[in-house]
Amino acid sequence: MSYSLAEAILLLALSSSVAALIADIIYKLYFHPLAKYPGPPLARVSCLHATYHAWRGDLHLDMWRCHERYGDVVRYKPNSLLFNTAGSLRDIYGHSSNGKVLKSRMYAVAVHRAPSTVTMRGGKDHARRRRILGQGLSDQSLRRYEGRILRHIDQFCDIMYDKETIGEGQTVEKEPRDSWSPPLDMSKWTNYLTFDLMSDIVFDAKYNLLGAERFRYVVDCIDRSNLRMGVLIYLPELTMLRLDRYIFRDSIKARNRFVKFVTRVVAERLQKTSSADSLGNSDLFAHLADAKDPETRESFTTNELAAESTTLIVAGGDTTSTAISAVLFYLSRHPDAYRKVVKEVRSTFGSYDKVKMGAQLVSCRYLHACIDEALRMSPPAPACLWREVVAPAGLVVDGVHVPHGVDVGMSIYAIQHSERQYTNPFSYHPERWLEDDGAGSIEKARAAFNPFSIGARNCLGAGLARAETMLTLARLLWLGDFQVAAQKDLAPVGAGNPGAASGRHRDHEYQLFEHITAQKQGPWLQFRAREDLR
């Protein structure tokens, strides 16, 4: 059998490619520094396992399953180790890891124009930016935004209890206040609330997603754009030959539409700053524009300011919306917890207007516990925040030596559902944060609790997110009651399906879909004003 020169060259190229692939697989399975660690077979030789689950939105569930099957240390990608102990949490993300790890290179694909503190690898410039950003998000600064926060929460509460909702293809006439409202999808309405909140706080912009449909497309664009980005983080090779543009056409259209929107927002805000009637320090943008790093005396550049502000809108809105929706889901399905938190809120505040930041709100310990328990069970960023070991000598993670150049991380969902740290981890039980069992249960629970991460890269907006969540829930609970939608087709939305697989079967758990941040559906709830306020 004879071959032409072209056929021979093609055959040689194919044979060489197959041989190289086989050699690569053999190396990763038997000779790679991480070869001794267990993990899914495909994950040990390729990023395709992680990419598939990133596309499905169940990375957090798969990571939990992997720990159940393979143990506390899992090889989740060829050059990555996934841990699941409280000690690992401190060693990877705590302050002791400063200078030893940087944010993984895999997040570079998420950078648009200028990186933000969320996407930056680390180092001195990252620390400088955090010092500037922290000035605008300090506890003292939050007081400056309280009026804005409460105005949007009031509008949200009016919609929930007055039944005057316009949008989603329907207009609902105002009904008597002693009747239950029509069913309302909390995933949508909390998205509208938090986007309105953050755009007002950051840009002094009034887009009124709560009251009108015009700009509601923006939150949908964020969700659809994140689907592609979540996949590219694990398989950036898709951008080669522009394959992602064929696979994620809808996602790219959504991203382009969002970029166009936010570019206009930033440009308009910059124009306000330079105008004669400057806004001063009325919003976060102005505060950050004037702020200087106390160490270097440097300020944000225009591109840095735009990157940080945009990130606050996207990340800040998504996480707070998920937190509020999760608490509403669990309280609507746990009547004992619901009665306790209602009693606490209504006995603490003598009137609706008194529900504000301060000592009284801080004293609502059961409300705090309800929020913490929802954040434990359904964390807004449930999968893994990967770090690259850059210390030449490597990094010791809870007794395990990890070589230089390896990515390490933990699934927030997995560690917060560890039976070592939590009794009945899949049960919603706010009391676990208040009542110690005598064996240090609260201390163990706190040691693994990290919905906003810890250490030098913890979420700077965590205080703002908690304040928004506390105020929204306290005002809702003070005004009236809510229940799961009476309609049979709407009641289960947001919950797992007992017949589903892969962790989606838990009907008592608020289901999240992980695409960089968490996406969700429901719960559908109905509201009714307090009897003494009708």
Query: What tokens does 66 get?
Result: 């992997």
> Whole-angstrom Cα distance, residue 319 to residue 519?
9
- Pairing between β-strand 480-484 and β-strand 524-529 as defined by DSSP bridges: antiparallel
**Between the CA atoms of 179, 183, 189 and 190, what dihedral angle is there, to the nearest 10 degrees?**
90
Nearest one of 481, 479, 487, 509 to 382, comparing CA atoms: 509
How far does Cα 307 stand from its chain's mean position?
18
The radius of gyration of the chain from alpha carbons, rounded to an integer in Å, stands at 25
Answer yes or no: are the C-beta atoms of 287 and 141 closer than 8 Å.
yes
Q: What is the largest CA-CA distance in the chain?
A: 94
Amino acid found at 272: K
Query: What tokens does 513 get?
Result: 């879909």
The residues facing 481 across adjacent strands are 528
**Between the CA atoms of 17, 21, 26 and 29, what dihedral angle is there, to the nearest 10 degrees?**
170
SS3 for 204? coil
459 is in an annotated binding site: yes
> Whole-angstrom Cα distance, residue 57 to residue 52?
9
Buried b (16+ CB within 10 A) or exposed e, 123-149: eeebbbbbbbbebbbeeebbebbeebb
The residues facing 531 across adjacent strands are none
Annotated binding site: which residue ranges? 459
Annotated binding site for heme: which residue ranges? 459
